[in-house]
Amino acid sequence: MARSSYRVRFTGGSGFELAGIVDRPDDVSAPPIVVFSHCFTCSKDLKAIVRISRGLADWGIAVLRFDMTGLGNSKGSFSKTSFTTNVADLRAAIEFAAVELGPVTALLGHSFGGAASLAIAGSNPLTEFNPRAVVTLAAPSETQHLQLLLAKLDPRIETTGVGTVSIGGINWKIRREMLEDFRGHDLPALISQVRAATLVLHSPQDAMVGFDHALRIMGLIQSSPQTSTPVSLVSLDGADHLLCEKQSDIEYVTTTVAAFLNRYALPG
């Protein structure tokens, strides 16, 4: 299917200008519309995100992928961001996509972006936004695990208020306020309130976020006695956290997500 891609800019939840790219099919009048959130310290230009987004457009799905505050081509300081600002940026992206493309019907998030997607779907802070579907890829079930990891990588973050950690070969300044914010969120409580059809994709060999997080996400959504929310778990056996080792993993994720969204996230 023919598709088009173009760059966009919009104001994020913290007031900074954010950069995004829209990948959309050319000949579909009412496609599912998805906002794609990247992982911690990643960007919309991560190989897996680019290929999945373009691949979904080839399957008739419109996607907005964007850089959160202080990352990629977006403005602002990464060291002053947090899970709270990530969620605020995602809300702003949803609102922008609704004007640019039409009402958003699904959220897709990789790693910490998946956590933000679940938080939005569980809290539903937008009065006119009710996603039909949520897809997570290698997402954590809570935010405290990242706080513990960062504090372990550089104890100065807690003791002096600022430190530096190396992620993906890049040094990142991390402030104590970021870790305090991570500690302050009850993501499991929000996940248990998710009412959208949910697809959880995770590798049992993920060295960054253990497979137990995927099982917990699934269990939390199924735990509510008031709902029979469809929730599916797909094991990405042998895949790495960033899906950078094998092209076949990206292709498998793309076709699986496309089938799920075309089943659960069609508008109307």
In the chain, the domains with their CATH numbers are: 3-143+186-264 (3.40.50.1820), 144-184 (no CATH)
Q: Where does 28-95 show beta strands of DSSP type E?
A: 33-37, 62-66
What percent of the chain shows pLDDT beyond 90? 90
If one counts every other C-beta atom within 10 angstroms of the C-beta of residue 229, the result is 15
Mean pLDDT score, 208-232: 89
Tokens 């790495």 map to which residue?
240
Report pLDDT for 128.
61
Average pLDDT over residues 102-118: 97
Q: What is the pLDDT of residues 48-58, one digit of tens each?
A: 999 999 999 99
Indicate if the pLDDT at residue 225 is higher than 70. Answer: no
Residue 17 DSSP symbol:
E
Instruction: Please give the average per-residue pLDDT across 168-182, as a whole number.
Output: 95
CA-nearest of 218, 176, 171 to 197 is 218
Does residue 78 surpass a pLDDT of 80? yes
